[in-house]
Amino acid sequence: MENENTGELRLVLHPDPILYRECEEVTEFGDELKGLARRMFDLMYESNGLGLAGPQAGVSKKIAVINASEQRGEAELVIVNPVLELGSEIDVMEEGCLSFPGIKGKVKRASALKLKARNLDGEPVEMDADGILARALQHETDHLNGIVFINRMGPAARFLVKGRLRELEAEYEQDER
């Protein structure tokens, strides 16, 4: 987290303020960005996640890594400066997030979308997605805009996770001291 170019990345947990602000657009592409993406994948696999966004690794930049296939190396996707065009059909599914250990809750999301983003070389990419990938793309793009999945939960789901949120907040305060 201290040095995003060489150091090992560390998972950032709720309620760290970096999770709640919009990230900067990526303007420099190339080897450094590729190194960052590689280390983000390492941290994601180590933490058994399907996706990881920059701020969750302490890097407030619009980059996220996704692997919804659960097979390492296969179907790895890096999105930079993503913009989503959401379809009108809605799905409800239970989600979790590496920055909210022990919390799961139902979230409504568009069931299909079109992604417009850059790749690691700065080239524009476009992709249609549905299913688990569409969900992951929405979850990670939200992170890059300072929105986390508990912000997307309805009041009932939110009520159920209140206690665990308080615990995470107490642990964070302890670590800050």
DSSP 4: T
Count of residues of this chain found to bind Co ion when the rule CB under 5 A is applied: 1
Closest separation in Å from C-beta 30 to Co ion:
26
End-to-end CA distance of the chain: 18
Cβ atoms within 10 Å of 99's Cβ, excluding its own? 25
Interaction residues for Co ion, span 33-92 (CB under 5 A): none
Residue corresponding to tokens 């930049």: 61
Contact between 97 and Co ion (CB under 5 A)? yes
By CB under 5 A, tell whether 137 contacts Co ion: no
48 phi and psi, to 5 degrees? 60, 45
**Interface segment toward Co ion; rule CB under 5 A; list 68-76, 93-101, 109-117, 163-171:** 93-101
**Active site annotation includes 140:** yes
Residues that bind Co ion (CB under 5 A): 97
Instruction: Return the active site residues.
Output: 140
